A = this chain, B = another copy of it.
Amino acid sequence: MNSTPPASEELTASAPAGVSPDHPGVNELFALLAYGEVAAFYRLTEEARMAPNLRGRINMALMAAAEMQHYEILRDALERRGVDVVPAMTKYAPALENYHRLTTPSTWLEALVKTYIGDALAADFYLEIASALPAEVAEVVRAVLSETEHSQFVVAEVREAVAASDKQRYRLALWSRRLLGEAITQAQYVLADHDELVDLVLSSGEGLTQMTEFFDRLQRTHATRMQELGLA
């Protein structure tokens, strides 16, 4: 709108040169996120069966419900872009279902850790991408990820369990590292299969350097989460 350098720079502060809101990767990103929300919803409700009591089942149900609120934001954003969410998202089913299949918890504590770490990893992953996106697109991604307080109930329960048992702490620390490993593996599969997404990340800001640093940062924030849970 305003072509004088200072104003233009201001306007594009969070919209790096080279990425347009019409980039085909944007629809793909939203579709990937949308499938992620639905997959998380059904996994949470399944893993909630391991809850030892009604309160645990309710907490899992509230988290699952929040995933569907996020789904609705993405569905509406895609609709505004003329894309029907359901056919667009099905291509991301294999990677996300594989992640969940390979990280099926065998205890309630594993389910809790997965919920917390998975939620946090997804948030890290998508916020990293958001910072490289045009402002209007980044806004949708941030709106989706603004609510994370639902997984806070996990912290107290896990900390208490691992304070009482070193064996639990080692087991859950290992489990938590496996979650990170599988998440990175599946993220790389998704990028390998979907050129538009790679192009979206590369054409934004720092490109390849950013990509390497991105996976480094994921590891660092994961370490912080393990400390929060008393696992490191």
Q: Which of A55, A58, A93 has most chain B Cβ within 10 Å?
A: A58
Chain A 43-77 residues near chain B, CB threshold 8 A: 45, 48, 54-55, 57-58, 61-62, 64-65, 67-69, 71-72
Name the CB-closest residue of B to A46: B45
- Tally of chain A residues near chain B (CB < 8 A): 22
> Which residues of chain B are within 8 angstroms of A211 by Cβ–Cβ distance?
none
Option from B38, B54, B58 in Cβ contact (under 8 Å) with A57: B38
Q: Is the interface of A mostly helix, strand, loop or mixed?
A: helix
Are A42 and B45 touching (Cβ within 8 A)?
yes
A68, B44: Cα distance in complex, Å: 14
A86 at the interface (CB under 8 A from B): yes
CB distance from A10 to the nearest CB of B (A): 38
Q: Evaluate contact between A86 and B42: CB separation under 8 angstroms.
A: no
Complex Cα distance, B93 from A86, in Å, reads 36
Does A104 reach chain B (CB closer than 8 Å)? no
CA distance A93 to B58 in the complex (A): 13
Chain B hits for A89, CB < 8 A: 54
A90 contacts partner chain B, Cβ-Cβ < 8 Å: yes
CB neighbours of A116 from chain B (8 A): none
CB neighbours of A67 from chain B (8 A):
65
Minimum CB–CB distance for A74 against chain B, Å: 12
Picked from B58, B61, B65, B86, the residue with its CB within 8 Å of the CB of A58 is B86
Q: List B contacts of A99 (CB < 8 A).
A: none
Q: Does A41 touch B at the CB level, under 8 Å?
A: yes
| Known interface pairs A65-B64, A65-B65; A58-B45 also in contact (CB < 8 Å) | no
Q: What are 30 A-B contacts defined by CB distance under 8 Å?
A: A38-B54, A38-B57, A38-B58, A38-B61, A41-B45, A41-B61, A41-B65, A42-B48, A42-B57, A42-B61, A45-B45, A45-B64, A54-B86, A54-B89, A54-B90, A54-B93, A55-B86, A58-B86, A61-B64, A61-B68, A61-B71, A62-B68, A62-B71, A64-B64, A64-B65, A64-B68, A65-B65, A65-B67, A65-B68, A65-B69
Q: Which 4 A-B pairs have the closest CB atoms?
A: A65-B68, A65-B65, A45-B45, A41-B61
